[in-house]
Amino acid sequence: MAVTNVADLTIVPVTPAQARAASDNMYPHWGQPNGVVSTDEYIKAFDSIAATGPWDTAYTAWALVPRSDPTTVDILSHCQTFRRRAFVVQPGSDTVKQVTSYVVAHVFTPPEKRSMGMARHMLRLLHYTLAPKDDLPTFPKAWGAPPTTHYGDAAFSVLYSDVGPDFYQGCTVGEDRPGWVATPTDKRTWPVGQGESTWDPEWEAIDLAQAKQLEVTATAANCQAMPRTGDRTRTRVAFEYTNGSFRFSPVRGAVIDVASHKRKNLDGLTVGVRLGAPSGVERPYIIYTARIRGGAGTKKMRIAHVQHPVPFDALLRVARAAGAQEIELWGDDSSWDAEEHEVTREKEIPCLASYSLGKNVEWLWCEQ
Ligand SMILES: CC(C)(COP(=O)(O)OP(=O)(O)OC[C@H]1O[C@@H](n2cnc3c(N)ncnc32)[C@H](O)[C@@H]1OP(=O)(O)O)[C@@H](O)C(=O)NCCC(=O)NCCS
């Protein structure tokens, strides 16, 4: 490839033609293996996520391009960001502050352009679009001119790495501040096995509208609990659930199922279950998605959030009713640790880049 000098490159929000090119690139990697029938269906699926939730306005797709030809569809690397509200508590403080942050997703370099530092440079530039100028080192001379799009409101940003912990740390802020640093989080997996597979008659399905309500109550509860949670000697951050956290995974799974003709539409989508009897007091609940990822293999029930107390037996009944063979839970919830399970940390490693929060940051309730 002709371009080798990073000073000649920049990062831009994509044009519609570049968005199409990026989808054409991503479809064979993330669409087709999940059974999505065409790039058009893949695009439609993601458009319909935006139309269903509160996260749409906050979405940007980015491309690394030659500065001399910023609208080219021959993109060198691309990624996406989603703006998310989050809370921060400073060490020893009881005051919870609201900040802006970003989730980085779908980092992709076309196969013929790989191993040339393209993704790394794009992500190094990305810091300069997201963070306030005062929180960034001077833009390195060797990188040419800073990106012209500057949101400048991120206290921090995060991503989930499927390529280990090192690559994203090397996507530095400036020339040598570490980029996204791994904050390894336990993932617990329980086998489901045979047994009762129907819901208790008192349980109720949670739909999208109810999930939205629960996001509000769970966010308020976290906000209250935050000063007393985690390591008080560290700065602690947590995402607000009101970003659509309880709806995003089920909706994303369902639109992919629609795009792969496994489901007709999103009507009647259940995103969780409320346990116990309807009595007015807060009932325990589980927000989850049960899917087979990658088009084949095990059906997994991935838990997005649990409001305890949820007895393990009840969890198994929910999983069996959903046809799942395994249950996955992220984070530090040890409530069901007495049951046979496996703990792993290697896949989808949460990583965090701090801009205005210093180096010593703990990510609370790091759920997926
Ligand atoms: C990961 C990806 C974006 C890297 O793009 P790139 O432009 O080649 O990245 P760079 O040239 O800046 O850096 C390459 C380095 O990334 C690391 N890397 C890339 N893929 C990796 C993997 N699967 N596992 C571990 N490290 C990996 C290696 O250190 C690699 O160095 P090498 O080329 O000397 O082996 C690209 O391989 C890709 O698009 N993969 C498919 C989509 C994907 O997996 N995206 C990441 C999701 S978290």
pLDDT in tens, 315-361: 999 999 999 999 999 988 899 999 999 999 878 899 999 999 999 99
**Residue 167 in contact with ligand 1 by CB distance below 6 A:** yes
Give the model confidence (pLDDT) of 225-258 as tens digits.
999 999 999 999 999 999 889 998 889 888 988 9
In this structure, the residue with its CA closest to atom 32 of ligand 1 is 115
Interacting residues of 353 by C-beta distance below 8 A, sequence separation 6+: 127, 156, 157, 158, 173, 178, 179, 180, 181
Q: How far is CA 247 from CA 43, 156, 271, 282, in A?
A: 19, 23, 7, 20
Following CA atoms 282, 93, 355, 156 in sequence, which dihedral angle do they give, to the nearest 10 degrees? Answer: 0
Measure 89 CA to ligand 1 centroid, in angstroms.
Answer: 34
The pLDDT of residue 274 is 95
Average pLDDT score over residue span 144-163: 97
In this structure, the residue with its CA closest to atom 9 of ligand 1 is 119
Of 312, 98, 287, nearest in space to 207 by CA = 287
Plot region of 103 (φ>0 → left; ψ -120 to 50 → alpha; else → beta) = beta
CA distance 94 to 231: 13
CATH architecture classification, 188-344: 3-Layer(aba) Sandwich (3.40)
The pLDDT of residue 295 is 62
Please give the backbone phi and psi of residue 320, each rounded to the nearest 5 degrees, phi first.
-65, -40
In this structure, the residue with its CA closest to atom 27 of ligand 1 is 163
**Residue 29 in contact with ligand 1 by CB distance below 6 A:** yes
C-beta of residue 353 within 8 angstroms of C-beta of residue 156: yes
Residue span(s) of the chain under CATH 3.40.630.30 come to 6-184+349-363
- Look over the chain and give the mean of its residue pLDDT values, rounded to a whole number: 92
Please give the backbone phi and psi of residue 142, each rounded to the nearest 5 degrees, phi first.
-65, -15
Average pLDDT score over residue span 165-191: 95
In this structure, the residue with its CA closest to atom 25 of ligand 1 is 163
In this structure, the residue with its CA closest to atom 29 of ligand 1 is 167
Measure 111 CA to ligand 1 centroid, in angstroms.
Answer: 10
pLDDT at position 39 over 60? yes
**Residue 108 in contact with ligand 1 by CB distance below 6 A:** yes
10 pLDDT band (50/70/90 cuts)?
A: very high
Counting ligand 1 atoms within 8 A of each CB, the residue from 26, 30, 167 with the most, and so the one to mutate, is 167
CA distance 190 to 211: 25
Q: In a 10 Å sphere around its CB, with 0-12 CB exposed, 13-18 middle and 19+ buried, how is residue 88 labelled?
A: buried
**Residue 116 in contact with ligand 1 by CB distance below 6 A:** yes
Q: How far is CA 203 from CA 78, 168, 272, 282, 311, in A?
A: 44, 43, 10, 13, 13
Other beta carbons within 10 Å of 196? 12
Query: Which residue do the tokens 């190094």 mark?
Result: 124
**Residue 110 in contact with ligand 1 by CB distance below 6 A:** no
pLDDT at position 2 over 50? no
**Residue 347 in contact with ligand 1 by CB distance below 6 A:** no
Average pLDDT score over residue span 164-184: 96
Handedness of CA 260, 262, 265, 271 (dihedral sign): negative
The pLDDT of residue 53 is 67
**Residue 319 in contact with ligand 1 by CB distance below 6 A:** no
Rounded to two decimals, what is the model's pTM? 0.94
Give the model confidence (pLDDT) of 275-323 as tens digits.
987 775 679 999 999 987 766 688 999 999 999 999 999 999 999 999 9
Measure 54 CA to ligand 1 centroid, in angstroms.
Answer: 31
The pLDDT of residue 197 is 96
In this structure, the residue with its CA closest to atom 33 of ligand 1 is 115
**Residue 115 in contact with ligand 1 by CB distance below 6 A:** yes
Measure 115 CA to ligand 1 centroid, in angstroms.
Answer: 7
Give the model confidence (pLDDT) of 107-131 as tens digits.
999 999 999 999 999 999 999 999 9
Measure 271 CA to ligand 1 centroid, in angstroms.
Answer: 33
Measure 307 CA to ligand 1 centroid, in angstroms.
Answer: 37
Share of the chain above pLDDT 70, in %: 96
Measure 159 CA to ligand 1 centroid, in angstroms.
Answer: 14
**Residue 77 in contact with ligand 1 by CB distance below 6 A:** yes
Of 357, 110, 16, 87, nearest in space to 240 by CA = 87
Tell me the fold of 6-184+349-363: Aminopeptidase (3.40.630)
137 pLDDT band (50/70/90 cuts)?
A: very high
Specify the 3-state DSSP secondary structure of 214: helix
Counting ligand 1 atoms within 8 A of each CB, the residue from 163, 169, 347, 368 with the most, and so the one to mutate, is 163
H-assigned helices in the chain: 16-26, 39-52, 118-130, 166-169, 208-225, 245-259, 312-321
The pLDDT of residue 3 is 54
**Residue 216 in contact with ligand 1 by CB distance below 6 A:** no
